[in-house]
Amino acid sequence: MVLGGSLTSEGYVKRAIDTLTEGGHLYELDGAKWFRATALGDEKDRVVVRENGTPTYFASDLGYLLSKFERGFDRALYVFGADHHGYIARLKAAAQGLGLDPERIEFQLVQFAVLFRGGEKIQMSTRSGQFVTLRELREDVGNDAARFFYVMRGNDQHLDFDLDLAKSKSNENPVYYVQYAHARICSVFRQLEEKGWTYNRSAADAARARLVEQGESDVLNALMRYPEVIESAALNRAPQLVASYLRELSAEFHSFYNTHPILVPDEELRQARLGLCKATRQVLANGLELLGVSAPEAM
């Protein structure tokens, strides 16, 4: 397998071992080669090459880490299960031994997800071979629900995944609630066409001052927060901020929709409210796309 340049994965492993050897970070014991990791902050030393001359899995980790930076990346991001937190000190020590900056390595620990069906927890155990694969989950609830439910919680938070809720067509289902807001707006524009009316963006912009009702202001304020939310989500590796925001924006729009008619006879007001709908639909579509979730036009 070619990782980058002209080196294979085996080539990077050899280079990593040679680098540690040259730096005086390896020693031999009982016929094996050990990385003196304790001197660099790890809890114990690690075997790099077994007695039979075969590199260990940790040696592969060394080669992979080295390849990341030799391929020109500024930062290495590792996503581990919470039970693998011990790898953090191990890879930080490895980076120092390889002459890399440990601060350029970032770790995200992901907590476990617990599945529920019919209010009952689905028992799973890797030791006994009882588990639900992500593919099975997607086949059960669909790609959209699987993705949205997973990003509703931060990596450091446990996720209780309610399979029945994920498949329900109700306001309690967060992904359905957001997608329905987008579909609802698409329906408004279909109704507009059926009435023989058209949307005029220039007219909508010119009539923006007509948006004085509380519900309209709430939607506008939510829309203005979108750039700030995206920036914060990116800087903090926190896609749950986007999911939470989309739910809030959807709530504001549904409330506005239920209390303020959009296709009113007053053309100036109609254009202003259509402009508000158009902007909301665009933000919902953009946010859902970032999460890998579809934005249906009808539901």
133-178 pLDDT per residue, tens? 778 888 888 899 999 998 998 877 777 888 888 999 988 999 999 9
* Cα separation, 237 vs 18, whole angstroms: 35
* Predicted local confidence at residue 129, as pLDDT: 60
Predicted local confidence at residue 113, as pLDDT: 79
**What pTM was computed for the model?**
0.80
Intervals of the chain under pLDDT 50: 1-5
Residues 6+ apart with CB under 8 A from 142: 166, 167
**Selection from 171, 154, 188, 190 nearest residue 251 by Cα:** 171
Domains and CATH numbers, the chain: 2-110 (no CATH), 113-167 (no CATH), 174-290 (1.10.730.10)
Using alpha carbons, list the distances in angstroms from residue 192 to 185, 196, 271, 275.
Answer: 11, 7, 11, 13
Q: Cβ(2)–Cβ(49) under 8 Å?
A: no
